[in-house]
Amino acid sequence: MSLLRLCLRELSHHPRFVMIFLLNAAIGLIGLTAVENFKTTFNSVLSFRSRALLGADLTISSRGIIPPEELAKAWSSLPTPYQESRSITLFSMATSEQESRLVSVRAIEKNFPFYGELIFDDETTHPNLAGAFLADNEVWIYPELALVLGIKIGDQLKVGDGNFVVKKLISQDAQQAFQEGAMALRLYMNHEGLKRAGLLEFGSTFNERISFRLEDAYVDRAEALAQEINKKLIDPGVSVSSAKDRSEQVGRTLNYLNDFLGLVSLVALFLSSVGLFYLYRSYIHRRREDMAILSCLGLSKTKIFRLYLLHLLILGFCGVLITWIFCLALFPLLSTLLAQVLPFEMPAFAGVRPFLLSFVVGVIGNLLLALPLLKPLLAVRANQVFQNYEAQNDESWLSSLLLGLPWLIFYWGLSVLTAQSWIIGSSFVFVFIAVSLLVFPLGSWVLGKISFLGSNAPLSLKLSLRTLSRFKFSTLSLFLSLVLATLLMTMVPTIERNLQNEISGPGKDKLPSLFMFDIQEEQVDKLKKLVAAEGIELKGVSPMILSRLVSINNEAFVRESDEPRTREEEQEFRIRNRGVNLTFRSALDASEKLISGKEFSGIFSGNFDEFAEVSVEYRYAKRVGIKLGDTLAFDVLDMPVKAKVVSIREVRWTSFMPNFFIVFQPGVLDLAPKTFLSVVPSLDHETKSKLQREIVSSFPNVSLIDVGQLITRVMSIMEQMSWALKSMALLSMAVGFFVLYSLAQHQMTQRERDITLLKVLGLSFNDLRKMVRIEFLILGFTASLLGAFLSLFVTWFFAFLFFDGIWTFAPMPLIYAVVCVSLLCLIVSEVATRKSLAKGAQSLLQDAL
């Protein structure tokens, strides 16, 4: 008889078991496929939106013309084919018949931007504008510019030596940024127009930028390519940027999101694997009597191994098939449901990758699992099997480890591939192994002790404890699976909650609309009054004093050398010598949190021989190498100031309020020459325009930046990321519960025969129910408690590894997990016990296998 026929016949003899097994296996795989599918979709949707800020996948730019030899390095490093577009940005004056204003001129080609678009007030868009790009004598301008210059569409505007016609008014520009063009309203023209204006001459200050759009297959590599090209560049004035560099906040959050989604994928991968491992191990263990019979009948051990390998292959393949069918039906439904709550559209499918992953885990993972699971069982003699001997006890740790090594290496590789990060994948595997190594011996020791505890206990408790300790390996295997599943499912919401605190904004009504700087000290009160007359309160009024950080702990921070330097050294040298802006205030702002140290002791004594107290922002402190208690020396306009770091604080930059890396206690810098920064909170368009005009006319020196549109755009991306975090956390929780359900459910099907035997032996229904209830409650509660407790350490470890140490104690997800897992185990055992007890003993003994 061929192995295949033998295998199929054996499977067909246990249809109920096979069906339950396949459904349980599919649950984990469906979860993995769903998480991977929506992770990929979220990533691509949000990456697209962040790329719109740059208008390209990556850009190379330079102050002045990009040196040809540097541009050649970019060309040779980019995977072909790619599209490119050249733009020039410069400041100039635009003059109408009535007014003259500073403008940010941007000369572009027809194909720019590659991502995002310009939306005009007539609701047409560029680059989708049907055949109508800018003519040489035409410009597109921001409506605010039209307002201040007193012009409208069709009017003339003089820029440099050229006269231009205003063709369209731009209502939305995805590439509006803090850096260039932030101080001035933007005006678009084409390159011929720029020549007509005669603005590019010797001595002109301008930026040249070449934007690239990569083929879809390379888009995800844009950041790595930008880094790679940057390393090759020599000229410090040339830089290559990817979308993530465009907005530090968006970039950092995108990195967090990427790492978070990588972790979620791993959680889903390991959850489904924990489920599969448990199921397959149970399956193989249940089949050990069949193996012994086949061996007695003369089938060689190699053939038995092959037979059960085929079992696993068929079961795995069928499980994957069920997963695929289910996912094909489920995803469009999920996508429709998500579309109702998400602020953006989500395609239902993200390609074949998630489906391939479920195949790799469900089928190939299975085959590699066969060796460590089957080999020890085959080594057991038939008489031992029928004595209900736990075969694994004979196996040495070393041989188990060696047999499991290929599986372990496979999962390591798979983890790195799934997380798309070497560090995340590896550290996850490390944590997983560490937790398993901790739980297994600990659990083994505990189980060894508990059988003695129940000797004088009531019958149901005594039976429960004996069952747990008698099937030690089986109990431990379930216990470990429950611990890991709880750990995994609580990990994601805990990290999500921490990240949400980091990226959430202050609410639309609290976002600033105008940012002001260069306010003179004597103007502050007058400006407050002017703004208050409109019923608005000026926010975040902060003094700003320029200084140089001279030394940290008496070691020179500024560099004094004009030796030839590398590009990186040159950049580092300039940064250190650029000076640092200081401010002073008495207490923390609402957007700040003390990480270490203490608040200021009060007002400075006035004795400049003593150290003044300073607080340093933690990312800056990390970058520059400042620690709590360090002494810093500043040069404030030729006056030496000594300070001691009394606190390291975290600043939530998403509040978009003015803030500083270094804050002094009051009384030190109060008399130093300074200017002030401030913001005007969110306003409607008319009030904002009116206020802008009034400020410009009363305080002509104050520079105003309209940040409303930009911040709204950045916040909208952040909001979408926040939704992505929430959805993925919920999805992984759901996967976790399904896997836990499948584990508990499967354990119950395994226990059915024991329950029936006890029933036949005369144990009352009540005692039986109590026994199972206690058994599952002990397992569920202790495993979930340990899993939740471990997740505290694991999330802390990952927070410091990947999320800049953003970690706060969040007990709620842990409490929910412990309660829910215990309840789930209880409910599953209750339902299954009722079902078993309702059946006749004969039927249970027949299909218990």
Partner 1 sequence: MKILFLPLALFFFLNPAFSKTIVFVGDSLTEGYGVAKESAYPNLLPALFKERMEKEVVIVNGSVSGSTTASASSRFRWFLRSKPDILVLALGANDGLRGLSLPESQKNLEDVILLAKAEKMKIVLAGMLMPPNYGDDYRKQFETLFKDLVKKHELIFIPFLLEGVAGVKELNQADGIHPNEKGHKIMAETVYKILGPLL
The contact set with partner 1 (CB under 8 A) reads: 63-64, 90-93, 95, 100-102, 105, 159-161, 183-184, 197-206, 235-237, 518, 520-522, 546, 548, 558-562, 570-571, 574, 577-579, 635, 637-638, 671-673, 675, 700-703
**Residue 537 beta carbon to partner 1: minimum distance, rounded to whole angstroms:** 24
**Residue 561 beta carbon to partner 1: minimum distance, rounded to whole angstroms:** 8
Q: How many Å apart are CA 538 and CA 527, to the nearest integer?
A: 8
Identify which of residues 100 and 336 has a Cβ nearer to partner 1 in the complex.
Answer: 100
Q: What is the DSSP letter of 521?
A: G
- Torsion angle of C-alpha atoms 594, 596, 597, 603, degrees rounded to 10: -20
User: Pairing relation of β-strands 100-108 and 185-190?
Assistant: parallel
Q: Cβ(257)–Cβ(249) under 8 Å?
A: no
**Residue 242 beta carbon to partner 1: minimum distance, rounded to whole angstroms:** 19
Q: How many Å apart are CA 584 and CA 664, to the nearest integer?
A: 4
Identify which of residues 509 and 563 has a Cβ nearer to partner 1 in the complex.
Answer: 563
Identify which of residues 101 and 470 has a Cβ nearer to partner 1 in the complex.
Answer: 101
**Residue 231 beta carbon to partner 1: minimum distance, rounded to whole angstroms:** 16
**Residue 687 beta carbon to partner 1: minimum distance, rounded to whole angstroms:** 24
Residue 534: CB atoms within 10 Å: 14
**Residue 538 beta carbon to partner 1: minimum distance, rounded to whole angstroms:** 18
**Residue 603 beta carbon to partner 1: minimum distance, rounded to whole angstroms:** 21
- Torsion angle of C-alpha atoms 195, 240, 128, 133, degrees rounded to 10: 0
Identify which of residues 183 and 541 has a Cβ nearer to partner 1 in the complex.
Answer: 183
Distance of CA 586 to the CA centre of its chain: 35
**Residue 697 beta carbon to partner 1: minimum distance, rounded to whole angstroms:** 10
Identify which of residues 478 and 580 has a Cβ nearer to partner 1 in the complex.
Answer: 580
| Tokens at 61, concatenated | 């730019």
3-state helix, strand, coil in the chain (%, to 5): 60, 15, 25
Nearest partner of 189 among 203, 200, 201, 205, judged by Cα:
200
**Residue 91 beta carbon to partner 1: minimum distance, rounded to whole angstroms:** 7
**Residue 625 beta carbon to partner 1: minimum distance, rounded to whole angstroms:** 19
Radius of gyration for the alpha carbons in the chain, expressed in angstroms and rounded: 34
83: part of which helix (H) or strand (E)?
Answer: strand 83-95
**Residue 410 beta carbon to partner 1: minimum distance, rounded to whole angstroms:** 48
Q: Which residues, listed in sequence order, are joined to residue 170 by a DSSP beta bridge?
A: 120
Q: How many Å apart are CA 231 and CA 641, to the nearest integer?
A: 38
Exposed, middle or buried by CB within 10 Å (0-12, 13-18, 19+), for 567?
A: middle
Nearest partner of 431 among 350, 495, 375, judged by Cα:
495
Nearest partner of 343 among 7, 45, 683, 775, judged by Cα:
45
545: part of which helix (H) or strand (E)?
Answer: strand 539-552
The residues, any chain, with a CB within 8 Å of residue 302's CB and separated by 6 or more, are none
Identify which of residues 88 and 495 has a Cβ nearer to partner 1 in the complex.
Answer: 88
The residues, any chain, with a CB within 8 Å of residue 224's CB and separated by 6 or more, are none
**Residue 354 beta carbon to partner 1: minimum distance, rounded to whole angstroms:** 45
The number of residues in the chain equals 849
Q: Is residue 113 reached through a cis peptide bond, with omega within 30 degrees of 0 on the bond before it? A: yes
**Residue 608 beta carbon to partner 1: minimum distance, rounded to whole angstroms:** 15
**Residue 204 beta carbon to partner 1: minimum distance, rounded to whole angstroms:** 4
Exposed, middle or buried by CB within 10 Å (0-12, 13-18, 19+), for 691?
A: buried
Nearest partner of 63 among 91, 23, 42, 31, judged by Cα:
91
3-state secondary structure of 56: coil
**Residue 157 beta carbon to partner 1: minimum distance, rounded to whole angstroms:** 12
Identify which of residues 95 and 501 has a Cβ nearer to partner 1 in the complex.
Answer: 95
Identify which of residues 451 and 523 has a Cβ nearer to partner 1 in the complex.
Answer: 523
Identify which of residues 91 and 410 has a Cβ nearer to partner 1 in the complex.
Answer: 91
Identify which of residues 95 and 436 has a Cβ nearer to partner 1 in the complex.
Answer: 95
The residue written with tokens 């994601």 in the block is: 492
DSSP strands (E only) in 160-298 = 162-173, 185-190, 206-213, 238-242
Q: Cβ(674)–Cβ(529) under 8 Å?
A: no
Query: In this structure, which amino acid lies at residue 671?
Result: L
Q: How many Å apart are CA 519 and CA 701, to the nearest integer?
A: 8
Nearest partner of 664 among 642, 688, 683, judged by Cα:
642
Identify which of residues 76 and 100 has a Cβ nearer to partner 1 in the complex.
Answer: 100
Identify which of residues 123 and 638 has a Cβ nearer to partner 1 in the complex.
Answer: 638
Identify which of residues 439 and 643 has a Cβ nearer to partner 1 in the complex.
Answer: 643
**Residue 195 beta carbon to partner 1: minimum distance, rounded to whole angstroms:** 13
Identify which of residues 32 and 107 has a Cβ nearer to partner 1 in the complex.
Answer: 107
Exposed, middle or buried by CB within 10 Å (0-12, 13-18, 19+), for 483?
A: buried
Identify which of residues 82 and 91 has a Cβ nearer to partner 1 in the complex.
Answer: 91
Q: Cβ(73)–Cβ(122) under 8 Å?
A: no
**Residue 194 beta carbon to partner 1: minimum distance, rounded to whole angstroms:** 10
3-state secondary structure of 207: strand
Identify which of residues 39 and 106 has a Cβ nearer to partner 1 in the complex.
Answer: 106
Distance of CA 392 to the CA centre of its chain: 40
Identify which of residues 119 and 550 has a Cβ nearer to partner 1 in the complex.
Answer: 550
